[in-house]
Amino acid sequence: MGLFLTTTHHLNQDVAFIDTDAAGNKNFGGVQEGDVVILPAFGASVHEMKLLHDKQVQIVDTTCPWVAKVWNAVDNQTRKGHTSVIHGKWQHEETVATASFAGTYVIVKDMKEAEYVCDYILNGGDREEFLSKFENAMSEGFDPDRDLDRVGLANQTTMLKVLRGGGGCWVGGGCLFLGVVGCVAGLLMVCVST
């Protein structure tokens, strides 16, 4: 998640990183009341921020404003009862944080996965195959037969790049709320509008 400063005495400061195990779980055991915790540009999940608040640490939030903008979009989708289709890598810290703001979500990594979700929206499909394919990339209890009726879209800032050469499927810096990058946005917008 980033680093934290242990300030046990005015003249004695230690700097340490919050350890992460092989499964990606962070160990906050070393963080104590009064420590200063610096959140990285990718941010932190809602759960992590609550845990740090409960530990009564001083938080220095360096979350990128573009990342926070994506969080706000996902939070808005959740309040409207929409499923968030998040363009990102499910294990990436930025995506983990974004998904924590969503009620119901599925994370698509690339054009192939986005097309799979669109095809499922338009034509239905094998529910068990969908659940297996997105096993680590969806909210708990996700049901593609129920949860893809109303969707909102969000791009992770780390995912913005050229998806296809020459065809105009390119998005420059910043983050887009309206699509899952270039062509994927158009494809999902067609799915949503039918």
Complete DSSP assignment for 4-16:
EEEEEETTEEEEE
Q: What is residue 75's predicted lDDT score, i.e. its pLDDT? A: 92
State the pLDDT at residue 157.
66
Q: Which residues are catalytic?
A: 94
Q: What are the C-alpha distances in Å from 23 to residues 20, 26, 158? A: 8, 9, 21
Q: Return the pLDDT at 25.
A: 79
Query: From first to last of its 194 residues, what are the pLDDT tens digits of the chain?
Result: 554 545 544 455 677 788 888 877 788 888 888 888 888 888 888 999 999 999 999 888 888 888 888 888 899 999 999 999 998 889 888 898 999 999 999 999 888 898 899 889 888 999 999 999 999 999 999 999 999 988 988 887 666 554 444 333 333 333 333 333 333 444 444 444 33
User: What pLDDT shows up at residue 43?
Assistant: 85
Burial of 136 (C-beta count, 10 Å sphere; 0-12/13-18/19+):
exposed
Per-domain residue ranges of the chain:
3-61, 65-193
What pLDDT, on a 0 to 100 scale, did the predictor assign at position 125? 95
Q: Note the pLDDT of residue 158.
A: 64
